[in-house]
A and B are shown apart, each in its own frame.
Chain A
């Protein structure tokens, strides 16, 4: 009898951890498949469109919307602004979100903390804040000292005269069939030509006036000197530094910081590419990016 009781007790204790699961099997409270985000192509302007729709549907939000040409009026009241035409945010004025159908102009020090979306163009003066995302169907012009996280424009440009970057052009050399994979570091001498992809376990330095016909991947950092042209993408586990007057036809992706020097161009007219920094990004005057600029921990215009 005692043995039977003990055995029963043992079975009860052993089954105890299974009880919640058995209850869940019966109740099926969480039996549906995990949701998968099955969206169409990522659209950097989706947030702006959603805000327009939300304002159209919600009267409380509509109270913040403005028709016609908006002047510093919208800047006097921090909040959400949806404007039918052009919009202007006064100097050092704060706005949470601004969506307009025309051109958006931010005067010096204006701050958009969350979202900025303009149909025609965006012009940000000196030391503006572009919050989480700024996107436009046209040119996105950034003044010096402007801070940002995600930008989208055709193109994204930094204003100011690009300082001249000294260049030393050398004779064109071909290193095809010599270095594709390197264990330590790769340094292309000035004027060198590499006609295919390169994968390097260390740092990469691409000399002045070099031509790279493919993409470059570095487990360390990548530095590209003046006058170089990369037809593929640059991908680095650490930093990417483009000294200036560099032309990248592909994407730039760094898990850490990105620095785009004066006169740098990423992408080309008619398409879009991405400049991505896993941490911070620093843009110099005279930078042009056709497409997206993303800095996860924030970016700044020098």
Chain B
């Protein structure tokens, strides 16, 4: 009985892995070979729409001035711009920095939060309550938006079907250490190939919440961001898609960010993402399947995106099934040989499929030398598996104990410098 279940589970895991591998390969092939659709940032329009820009901050004294400098220096007309900077229970120099900029620039409005739940979703909700424009952009505090970026993101709203837009994130602190260089590769594959091709195939690109925007009335309409959800951006993506709104990805709207530079910081970030993503999976998988607005390919891709953080725990469970089969004497020589060949095939085409995405991104970006680092991502794969596995267990624990996870901010390089 145990052996039969193990075989069945192993087969299930293998099928899931093959499906993900095919997805990666299709997206990569499409990005390299298929014609990319023109995007709305081709439009030149003298009527720039009024925008509310929200910047959540918790103890961002190290980076607050930089993003505010970028926003004040941008050539987007200031009478069309309202910047709401959310000081979320900061106890460093953030409040003073915000007050100084607000006194010099009337379009900057600090929002000091000292009560209520801390965290990005709650902060965004408070800011949405005071933001006065229909279209809202959101930037994380370590980002460096330009006027061109703001225009590029806002252009997506020419399309009345677009509920949210996401830009491309480009790591800036690549030369700090090996980790930042590897994360740079991951980001390239994720944005230049995965997001862009989902846009081009008319699937559901992800609103990432760090350099993007949305129509405020829609988000207000469903009650705002849920403070109990760690991945409020992923949740917003599927809330929009379920309701028939399109999420646009603008590959040319590029913005620098600071990626985690310590392994501990990266581990915590990934664990938080996996925890939040699993929460969203539990909440949105059925509504996604039942949505009358999503096409079959969109539903399939949404399912795979929602389940992406289940892959490492699934792989681990497949290993356990393998061990059970071995100990139960079920894995005889012939089947072991066949399995061995399948494993070789899978590791060549399946596990490496994300690496193909990264390679394709490097080719498109014209940045070839850094691709020599791709094999070094293999050990990182095991590191990611551990972080994601723990995040998955966290989410299960949250569900069983009816626990609301606390927000854990990623530490900036400048904070530790």
Contact in complex: A41, B244 (CB < 8 Å): no
Contact in complex: A34, B367 (CB < 8 Å): yes
Query: Is there a chain B Cβ closer than 8 Å to A284's Cβ?
Result: no
Query: Is there a chain B Cβ closer than 8 Å to A202's Cβ?
Result: no
A187 to chain B, nearest CB (A): 18
Query: Is there a chain B Cβ closer than 8 Å to A101's Cβ?
Result: no
How long is the Cα–Cα vector from A21 to B38 in the complex, in angstroms? Answer: 36
| B-side interface residues, number (CB < 8 Å) | 43
A15 to chain B, nearest CB (A): 10
Chain B residues within an 8 Å CB radius of A272: 44-46
How long is the Cα–Cα vector from A33 to B373 in the complex, in angstroms? Answer: 15
Contact in complex: A34, B188 (CB < 8 Å): yes
Contact in complex: B148, A38 (CB < 8 Å): yes
Query: Is there a chain B Cβ closer than 8 Å to A105's Cβ?
Result: no
Query: Is there a chain A Cβ closer than 8 Å to B181's Cβ?
Result: yes
Chain B residues within an 8 Å CB radius of A148: none
Using known A-B contacts A44-B44, A274-B42, determine if residue A39 contacts B178 with beta carbons closer than 8 Å. no
How long is the Cα–Cα vector from A216 to B158 in the complex, in angstroms? Answer: 10
- A-B pair number, CB within 8 angstroms: 122
Using known A-B contacts A23-B372, A181-B244, determine if residue A271 contacts B47 with beta carbons closer than 8 Å. yes
How long is the Cα–Cα vector from A26 to B293 in the complex, in angstroms? Answer: 51
Query: Is there a chain B Cβ closer than 8 Å to A25's Cβ?
Result: yes
A25's partner among B147, B254, B373 (CB-CB below 8 A) is B373
Binding site for A on B (CB under 8 A): 37-38, 40, 42-47, 75, 146-148, 151, 158-161, 170-175, 178, 181, 184, 188, 244, 254-256, 365, 367-370, 372-376, 378
Chain A residues within an 8 Å CB radius of B40: 235, 253
Using known A-B contacts A24-B372, A31-B370, A271-B47, determine if residue A255 contacts B172 with beta carbons closer than 8 Å. no
Binding site for B on A (CB under 8 A): 17-18, 20-25, 28-34, 36-42, 44, 181, 197-199, 214-217, 232-233, 235, 250-251, 253, 255, 271-274, 276, 278, 291-292, 294, 296
Contact in complex: B370, A42 (CB < 8 Å): no
How long is the Cα–Cα vector from A39 to B188 in the complex, in angstroms? Answer: 21
Using known A-B contacts A21-B375, A31-B175, A233-B158, determine if residue A36 contacts B254 with beta carbons closer than 8 Å. yes
How long is the Cα–Cα vector from A271 to B184 in the complex, in angstroms? Answer: 41
A241 to chain B, nearest CB (A): 18
Chain B residues within an 8 Å CB radius of A291: 44-46
How long is the Cα–Cα vector from A272 to B367 in the complex, in angstroms? Answer: 37
Chain A residues within an 8 Å CB radius of B373: 21, 24-25
How long is the Cα–Cα vector from A251 to B75 in the complex, in angstroms? Answer: 22
Contact in complex: A253, B43 (CB < 8 Å): yes
Contact in complex: B376, A276 (CB < 8 Å): no
Contact in complex: A34, B170 (CB < 8 Å): yes
Chain A residues within an 8 Å CB radius of B188: 34
The interface centre, meaning the residue of B40, B147, B372 with most chain A CB atoms within 10 A of its CB, is B372
B396 to chain A, nearest CB (A): 35
A21 to chain B, nearest CB (A): 4
Q: Top 8 A-B pairs ranked by shortest CB distance?
A: A30-B369, A197-B160, A271-B46, A31-B175, A20-B372, A24-B372, A278-B38, A30-B370
Contact in complex: B42, A294 (CB < 8 Å): yes
Chain B residues within an 8 Å CB radius of A23: 372
Contact in complex: A41, B370 (CB < 8 Å): no
A32's partner among B45, B158, B160, B174 (CB-CB below 8 A) is B174
A182 to chain B, nearest CB (A): 11
